[in-house]
Amino acid sequence: MLQNHKNKINIILLIILLFNALPAFPNYLFGGGSTYNWTFMNSNPLGTDFSPQNQISKSNIQNLYQDWIFAIPSSPDVAGLNLTGQGAIAPPLIVNGIVYLLTNYATVYAIDGADGSLIWSYQPTLNRTGLPLGYLIGHMHGINYYRGEIWLQLPDCSVVALDANTGVEKFRITGICADVPGNAGLYATRGTAPVFFGDIMIVGSSVSEGTDAGRGFVAAYSITNGSLLWRWFVTPPAGGDQNWDTDSCQQPCHGNVQPFPGDWGTMGYNGNNTLEGADSSWGQFAVDNTTGMVYLGTGQPSPDWNATLRPGPNLYSDSIIALNATTGKLIWYFQTTPHDLYDFDCGWNVALGTIDAGNRNTDVVFKACKNGYVYALDALTGKLFWYFDPPSILRDNTLNSQYVQTGAYDPTLPWVGYPNSTYYTQCPGVNGGVESDIALAYGNVYVATHNFCSVITPSPVGRFGNNVTGTSGIAYLTQSANTTIYALDQSTGKPVWSFVIPGVPFRGWLTASGGMVFAGSLDGNIYMLDAHSGKLVSKLYVGPSLYEGPVFGSTITGDVIMLQLVSSSSYYQPSSGTPGVLIAYGLKPQTLSPLPFLYAAVAVLAAVSTIALVKLRSLSRKPTSKQ
């Protein structure tokens, strides 16, 4: 009996050893594994544009293939929009196997991530009645997923939440821009998607960028009962506030630019309307659920290029802002371009991460602005840890934007070259030195910088309308265009590597995933760079100019796909007016080598043969029964 027991143990061990010796099967052959979601505009509430998936990696990126295409329907006529946009520019989401796409005509599509089939769609009804709304265009920046719902801000100053599975509207707040204290201007389209701190929804306003600009703000609402909890204002009220800088940031609130009595002047108020303003950013706000703070960027002061009516630094335009998410109290501010004459807003995303500062991990806000600089700020105090001035960026006639280097700016200059009103060259141009989201991963900050200079002809302020009126003409120096992508050490801001894309500027976002950095380029390629070395791993030619980057997520079966949006051209090249498509890339099924299966067959055969042999030997040793 003891010998038979030993034989069985030896057989089991033999089988285990044989199977352990087999080559490992690739995960993608069988699907499954971890589920990866892209739930916010920039992947997650921290705004990092990072997906931790490794199913698509440097080792198999060459095996990407076009899995399915969702053709974005042509825009219908949307009542309430002055100009309906085609296609989409907002990052798609992918949550629990479903892809969510927001178009420039405010329709949301839910798409099966496995095959690209339509699950549901939602087309809102807009209501402009009684609201201070300006010229509304189809230009929708993003949606976010929270607690089973898709959240978006609509052009009519409303926020809606849709059931993620059915598309049914479950929550709506209207009139966000109605009865705003101190407002004597108009609101427009370019609001950001809401972010959340528990049951608090935080959303930014969207003001016109012309001389009819409304009073920009950030507002918080209860998602339990829809009540307004607080507002924080970007600018003084109509008519101005002589003590705006000091009264709006009372100690212990603090910032990097000294108060200026009479900042913003009277806002150009003429008894009926303001002629200037500024807004919160359309980029994703970042929320720290541990400290209860929300971080955001703000837009440039309007009108662009002519500051005759707005002396001072124009707090809090072009700034990085930290607010208490519960009360809306301003904790700190960091203004990047005091008295902006160049359209150098701090749109796009804010990213939250950590650095090693003095042998301890410190929470840090990372931000790139259109002035071309990248900043790392202490998340609790706003202290500047480091800044990066890309050596590749040309700088000409943008002195105030170099404040972080010089510590100086001119608070009263009406326009560049004053009193001369002839044209001048501006570098970075009206599209800035950074016009994209950064990514945060692998100990680095990834940023796409570009050169795209402009020729500006200044003009007087005073004309109303939907167009920005600080200039009578803008020319784009396309021959100056090029892109440089940098990886910066997260703790020091020192460049780790750089990669040049010649001939084109850059718009959209960078994505970090699978040990790589992905960049959708205006030359029609998706560049896939080694995240640690910057070397080109692969390049995928899509064809049309790409104004957006890829996002990553899992289908319902656990297979990771890469989503690339191809939109109607609206930047750098004339708009084609085409609706565009959403393309899903997956990994090609591989032709299997027969060797692993041969090994498996041999292992099973050996095990069975061993068992049979032992059984026969056991039987042969049994004594014959007596007759």
Q: How would you write 499-536 as a 3-class SS string?
A: EEEECCCCCEEEEEECCEEEEECCCCEEEEEECCCCCE
d(CA 206, CA 282) in angstroms, rounded, equals 8
Give yes or no for a contact between 338 and 349, defined as CB atoms under 8 angstroms apart.
Answer: no
pLDDT tens digits along 160-199: 999 999 999 999 999 999 999 999 999 987 778 999 999 9
Question: Do 10 and 117 share a structural domain?
Answer: no
CA of 54: how far to CAs of 10, 31, 59, 560, 561, in Å?
Answer: 38, 13, 10, 9, 11
Question: Do 180 and 129 share a structural domain?
Answer: yes
* 40 in any annotated domain: no
Q: Cα–chain-centroid distance for residue 157?
A: 22
Output Rg (C-alpha) for the chain, integer angstroms.
29
* pLDDT tier, 153 (very low <50, low <70, confident <90, very high otherwise): very high
Number of domains comprising the chain: 2
pLDDT tens digits along 237-283: 999 999 999 999 999 999 999 999 999 999 989 888 898 999 998 99
Residue 396, both tokens = 């000409």
Secondary structure of residue 625 in the 3-state scheme: coil
Helix (H) or strand (E) holding 120: strand 118-122
Q: What is the DSSP letter of 396?
A: B
Question: Do 604 and 522 share a structural domain?
Answer: no
The CA-based angle 89-90-95, given to 5 degrees, is 140
Question: Do 360 and 482 share a structural domain?
Answer: yes
d(CA 203, CA 206) in angstroms, rounded, equals 10
pTM: 0.89
Question: Do 597 and 580 share a structural domain?
Answer: no
* 544 in any annotated domain: yes
pLDDT tens digits along 39-81: 999 999 999 999 999 999 999 999 999 999 999 999 888 888 9
* 41 in any annotated domain: no
d(CA 609, CA 615) in angstroms, rounded, equals 10
d(CA 386, CA 149) in angstroms, rounded, equals 38
pLDDT tens digits along 365-406: 999 999 999 999 999 999 999 999 999 999 999 999 999 999
First to last CA, the chain: 25
* 191 in any annotated domain: yes
Give yes or no for a contact between 381 and 365, defined as CB atoms under 8 angstroms apart.
Answer: no
Evaluate if residue 147 carries a pLDDT over 70. Answer: yes
* 38 in any annotated domain: no
Give yes or no for a contact between 545 and 532, defined as CB atoms under 8 angstroms apart.
Answer: no
Q: What is the DSSP letter of 261?
A: T
Question: Do 272 and 257 share a structural domain?
Answer: yes
3-state secondary structure 307-338: CCCCCCCCCCCCEEEEEECCCCCEEEEEECCC
d(CA 341, CA 93) in angstroms, rounded, equals 36
pLDDT of residue 4: 53
3-state secondary structure 153-209: EECCCEEEEEECCCCCEEEEECCCCCCCCCCCCEECCCCCCCEEECCEEEEECCECC
Q: What is the mean pLDDT of the chain?
A: 88
* 125 in any annotated domain: yes
Residue 424, both tokens = 């001048």
Question: Do 606 and 573 share a structural domain?
Answer: no
Taking phi over 0 as left and psi of -120 to 50 as alpha, with beta for the rest, 484 belongs to beta
Q: Which residues, 6+ apart, have CB-to-CB distance to 601 below 8 Å? A: none
Range of the domain at 101: 47-590
pLDDT of residue 195: 98
Q: Which residues, 6+ apart, have CB-to-CB distance to 394 below 8 Å? A: 427, 428, 451, 453, 480
* pLDDT tier, 471 (very low <50, low <70, confident <90, very high otherwise): confident
Q: What is the arithmetic mean of pLDDT over 129-152? A: 93
Type of residue numbered 535? K
Among the residue ranges 247-251, 485-489, 600-604, the one predicted with the least confidence is 600-604
Question: Do 162 and 308 share a structural domain?
Answer: yes
pLDDT of residue 613: 46
In terms of pLDDT, which residue wins out, 357 or 294? 294
Q: Can you give the CATH number for the domain in which 335 is found?
A: 2.140.10.10
Question: Do 95 and 74 share a structural domain?
Answer: yes
Question: Do 140 and 155 share a structural domain?
Answer: yes
Q: Which residues, 6+ apart, have CB-to-CB distance to 368 below 8 Å? A: 348, 374, 375, 434, 436, 438, 447
* 162 in any annotated domain: yes
* 31 in any annotated domain: no
Query: Beta 424-426 vs 454-458: how paired, if at all?
Result: antiparallel
Question: Do 615 and 555 share a structural domain?
Answer: no
* Strand stretches in 200-276, DSSP E: 200-204, 217-222, 228-233, 254-255
Give yes or no for a contact between 529 and 483, defined as CB atoms under 8 angstroms apart.
Answer: no
Give yes or no for a contact between 123 and 106, defined as CB atoms under 8 angstroms apart.
Answer: yes
Question: Do 583 and 611 share a structural domain?
Answer: no
